[in-house]
Amino acid sequence: MFERFTRTARAVVVGAQREAEREGAGEISPVHLLPALLADPTDVAAAVLAEHGVTADTVAEDLRRTRRRAGLSDEDAAALERLGIDVENIVERVEQTHGEYALAGGGRPKRRRLFGVLDHRPFTSQAKQVLEQSLREAIDLGDRHIGTEHLMLGLLQQPGPASDLLAARGVDYPTARRDMTRRAAAG
């Protein structure tokens, strides 16, 4: 399947590997694919997402906030706020006592290397599903290659933190598919 990936789509996969390595994660998940997808702002998928205010910077901030809260979404935090619970205050107090990212698993993720090289990290089943869905998207759109636009559509089809983050910014599958189709028609 990877032979059908464009150069930029392959760069996204390599970038996701780097994101996982930087974070100290044992596996590559959709949440690592998203920042890698936005690494080149001139790329078509990044441009479509930027039209909706989704950039590498906004995603980095959203992911940082979500990780600090141990995965608690903005919607969940807002629901707790309505109950009188200030999540940000709790996170700050825990981090003052126990260190940054304490709620995310006991401290800032450590870099892991083997003989000075990036560790090989497998894809999670969710990330594999994103890649498989990107192939289906390419076929459905009549494309012979798998590009970043197909990866973006595959990512939006996979439930989880990455697609939730995009949805919170107004990007869902139908919207992205429409925008991609419009861009392709404009040529």
pLDDT tens digits, one per residue of 30-84: 999 999 999 998 899 999 999 999 998 998 888 777 665 666 666 777 777 788 8
The mean predicted confidence, pLDDT, of the chain is 83
CATH number assigned to the domain comprising residue 150 = 1.10.1780.10
Domain count, the chain: 1
Instruction: Tell me the one-letter amino acid at 37.
Output: L
Task: Indicate whether 74 belongs to any domain.
Answer: no
Task: Indicate whether 77 belongs to any domain.
Answer: no
Residue 112 to residue 118: CA distance in whole angstroms = 8
Q: Which domain holds residue 149?
A: 2-68+113-186
- Read off the pTM: 0.74
Task: Indicate whether 84 belongs to any domain.
Answer: no
Between residues 119 and 81, the one the model is more confident about:
81
Residue 12 to residue 56: CA distance in whole angstroms = 13
Contact of 23 with 109, CB cutoff 8 Å: yes
